[in-house]
């Protein structure tokens, strides 16, 4: 595994190769990231993983500061996985140039997380656009855990006619049901139990809603989540996962999208 901290050295190395499969991360690696990397390795191109905690996608400085970082441990794991390249850029390597393509921000960026984290998706698209320009990957691997992000990156790539294929990867969960997330490492044992109970409550609710749509009563669900130990609910909405419109009938393929807090830790999922 070769490690690069500078894009020019990275580019010299990778532009000779046949194509890159790219797995962008913010580090704090867990089973979700590892499944993306394992999928990437199946594609027979060279696998490049990046670790960059992107300050522009955090709407609160305190959240950026407390975001879990574990680079030495991450490097050990990536070596074991035998990836080809690891890119750990500094801020200026990413933001010290003007990208050729402008970011396309679909109007769906105003919904769900976009409503509660001002500037978040602008920051995500900005960094992804820059990474794509630096690396020119053939494939990019993204998790369905961050479904709205995945959708918005897809729209950007389509609109700007970028020749990178998105490979959508399923959400990996812990044994207790909760989606693997770097942020989980900030949760206490008791808070993990709360998150697990919320997951089981919501997956049970989804099954019931499929049979009887009238059960989707936001105020009642919100109260139940608070009773289970959530501190605050940002949103709980059901969206059709193809059209990304509000699901109106149980026959549609929908997911429950949720963002909630346990104390000051914000968790998102779609079930
Ligand atoms: P992050 O490091 O949180 O920015 O995530 C990097 C990539 O890993 C994104 O494409 C995420 O959607 C994906 N990812 C994060 N958690 C999971 C998970 N539990 N299952 C699958 N993919 C995930």
Query: Residue 129 in contact with residue 103, Cβ under 8 Å?
Result: yes
Domain that holds residue 259: 182-270
Residue 213 has pLDDT above 80, yes or no: no
Mutate to test the pocket of ligand 1, among 139, 145, 173 (most ligand atoms within 8 A of CB): 145
Based on the domain organization, do 98 and 210 belong to the same domain? no
Spell out which residues line ligand 1, taking CB within 6 angstroms: 25-26, 32-33, 35-36, 142-143, 145-146, 169, 171-172, 179-182
Task: List, for residues 12-33, the tens digit of each pLDDT value.
Answer: 999 888 899 999 999 999 999 9
Q: With 80 as the cut, is the pLDDT of residue 224 above it?
A: yes
* Average pLDDT of the residues in 114-137: 98
Tens digit of pLDDT for each residue in 233-255?
999 999 999 888 988 888 889 99
Work out the percent of the chain whose per-residue pLDDT is above 70. Answer: 100
Query: What pLDDT is stored for residue 239 in this prediction?
Result: 93
User: Can you give the three-state secondary structure of the chain, one letter per residue?
Assistant: CEEECCHHHHHHHHCCCCCEEEEEECCCCCHHHHHHHHHHHHCCCEEEEEECCCHHHCCCHHHHHHCCCCHHHHHHHHHHCCCCEEECCCHHHHHCCCCCCCCCCCHHHHCHHHHHCCCHHHHHHHHHHHHHHHHCCCEEEEEHHHHHHHHHHHHHHHHCCCCCEEEEECCCECCCCCECCHHHHHCCHHHHHHHHHHHHHHHHHHHHHHHCHHHCCHHHHHHHHHHHCCCEEEEEEEEECCCCCECCCCCCCEEEEEEEEECCEEEEEEC
Nearest atom within ligand 1 for CA of residue 35: 21
Residue 256 in any domain: the answer is yes
Q: What average pLDDT score do residues 186-202 get?
A: 98
- Look at residue 176 and tell me if it is in a domain: no
Do residue 80 and residue 165 come from a single domain? yes
The tens digit of pLDDT for each residue in 41-77 reads 999 899 999 999 999 999 999 999 999 999 999 999 9
> Residue 192 — very low, low, confident or very high, per pLDDT cuts 50/70/90?
very high
Report whether pLDDT(210) > 90. Answer: no
Do 216 and 150 share a structural domain? no
**Mean pLDDT over residues 104-123, rounded?**
97
Q: Which ligand 1 atom is the nearest neighbour of the CA of 23? A: 7
Tell me, yes or no, whether 57 and 159 share the same domain.
yes
Which ligand 1 atom sits closest to the C-alpha of 182?
A: 3
Location of structure tokens 């855990």? 145
Task: Check which CATH number belongs to the domain holding 220 and give it.
Answer: 3.30.1300.10
Q: Are residues 93 and 192 in the same domain?
A: no
In a domain, 67, yes or no: yes
177 belongs to a structural domain: no
Residue with tokens 């105020």: 219
The helix-helix angle for 7-14 and 120-135 (nearest 10°) equals 50
Give the model's pLDDT for residue 226: 98
Is 33 a known active-site residue?
yes
175 in any annotated domain:
no
Residues 248 and 163 in one domain: no
> What does pLDDT average to over the chain?
96
Q: Write the CA distances from 179 to 192, 237, 256, integer angstroms.
A: 11, 18, 14
C-beta separation of 43 from 139 below 8 A:
yes
- Write down the pLDDT at residue 196: 98
pLDDT at 251: 85
| Position 121 pLDDT exceeds 80 | yes
pLDDT computed for residue 200 by the predictor: 98
User: Where residue 43 sits, what CATH number does that domain have?
Assistant: 3.40.50.620
One domain for residues 29 and 156: yes
Which pLDDT value is given to residue 49?
A: 98
Between the CA of 180 and the centroid of ligand 1 the distance, in Å, is: 8
Q: ∠ CA(71), CA(75), CA(80), 5° rounding?
A: 150
Q: Counting atoms of ligand 1 from 1, which one is nearest the CA of 179? A: 19
pLDDT of res. 107: 95
Specify whether 157 is located in the same domain as 247: no
Q: What is the arithmetic mean of pLDDT over 4-18?
A: 94
| pLDDT more than 90, % of the chain | 90
Cα(143) to ligand 1 centroid in Å equals: 5
Q: Which of 30, 33, 120, 156 is catalytic?
A: 33
What is the C-alpha separation between 121 and 197, in angstroms, rounded? 29
Give the residue from 169, 194, 209 where a domain finishes: 169
107 and 223 assigned to the same domain: no
Is 174 within a domain?
no
Residue 21 lies in a domain: yes
Which single residue is written with the structure tokens 């990996």? Answer: 172
Ligand 1 site-directed mutation target among 21, 25, 124, 175, most atoms within 8 Å of CB: 25
């Amino acid at each position: 595994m070769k490690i690069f901290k500078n894009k020019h050295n990275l580019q010299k190395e990778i532009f000779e190769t046949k194509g890159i499969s790219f797995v962008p991360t913010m580090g704090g690696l867990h089973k979700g990231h590892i499944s993306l990397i394992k999928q990437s390795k199946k594609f027979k191109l060279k696998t490049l993983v990046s670790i960059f905690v992107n300050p522009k996608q955090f709407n609160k400085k305190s959240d950026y500061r407390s975001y879990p970082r574990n680079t030495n441990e991450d490097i050990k794991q990536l070596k074991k996985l035998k990836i080809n390249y690891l890119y750990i850029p500094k801020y200026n390597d990413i933001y010290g140039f003007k990208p050729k393509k402008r970011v396309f921000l679909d109007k769906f960026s105003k919904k769900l997380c976009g409503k509660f984290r001002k500037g978040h998706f602008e920051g995500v698209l900005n960094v992804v656009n820059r990474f794509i320009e630096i690396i020119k990957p053939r494939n990019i691997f993204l998790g369905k855990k961050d479904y709205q992000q995945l959708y918005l990156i897809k729209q950007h790539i389509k609109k700007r006619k970028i020749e990178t294929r998105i490979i959508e990867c399923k959400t990996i969960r812990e044994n207790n049901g909760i989606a693997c997330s770097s942020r989980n490492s900030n949760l206490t044992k008791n808070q993990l139990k709360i998150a697990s109970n919320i997951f089981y409550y919501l997956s049970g609710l989804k099954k019931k809603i499929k049979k009887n749509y009238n059960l989707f009563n936001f105020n009642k669900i919100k109260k139940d989540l608070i009773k289970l130990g959530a501190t605050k609910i940002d949103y709980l909405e059901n969206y059709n996962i193809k059209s990304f419109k509000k699901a109106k009938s149980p026959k549609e393929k929908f997911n429950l999208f949720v963002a909630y807090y346990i104390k000051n830790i914000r968790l998102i999922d779609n079930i």
